[in-house]
Amino acid sequence: MLVIYVTLFAWNYGASLGPAGPGGRNYNFIPFRSIYRIAVYSPTIVDPIKILIGNIILFIPFGFLAPIAIKKLRKSVLITTGLGMLLSIAIESSQFLFTYRVSNIDDVILNTLGAFIGAVMIKICFFVKSKIIYFKT
């Protein structure tokens, strides 16, 4: 629910990517364009870190919790990452519908990286758990 709320109703504090597109919408379909702009043109180092790391952190719980909820995902980090990417694409597509939100391919890239990190973390946890159980018996 928090992800849905933040996605649809978050305060847009200077996230514009330039002149508005059709219907007043802001969007970016060029990979790494906004990451570059944030890194180069931000007046402080804190803002780029908050924006970039925030997008990654937002999807780590998905990558971590999806394999716990769906046992079939425990075997494949790639499938979990792919589902995270599809969820991110759905979120960014929904943001395009609202003129006060920014639809950005870089968010998809960073969110997918977060899902990947979460999937790797849970894979490591399952591996360690299996070794602990093996050594106990």
- Give the pLDDT confidence of 103-122 residue by residue, as tens digits: 999 999 999 999 999 999 99
What pLDDT does 27 receive?
85
Give domain status of residue 15, yes or no.
no
Flag whether pLDDT at 64 surpasses 60. Answer: yes
Cα(42)–Cα(87) distance, integer angstroms: 28
**Segments forming the whole domain that contains residue 68:** 23-136
Give domain status of residue 14, yes or no.
no
Give domain status of residue 69, yes or no.
yes
Give domain status of residue 13, yes or no.
no
Confidence of residue 127 (pLDDT cuts 50, 70, 90): very high
The domain tally of the chain equals 1
Give domain status of residue 64, yes or no.
yes
CA-based nearest residue to 60, from 109, 103, 120: 120
Flag whether pLDDT at 2 surpasses 70. Answer: no
Name residues whose C-beta falls within 8 Å of residue 51's C-beta, 6 or more positions apart in sequence: 38
**Parallel, antiparallel, or unpaired: how do β-strands 102-104 and 26-28 relate?**
parallel
Give domain status of residue 32, yes or no.
yes
Higher pLDDT, 59 or 3: 59
Give domain status of residue 60, yes or no.
yes
Give domain status of residue 10, yes or no.
no
Max CA distance (Å), the chain: 64
What pLDDT does 137 receive?
62
Structure tokens, 6: 């933040």
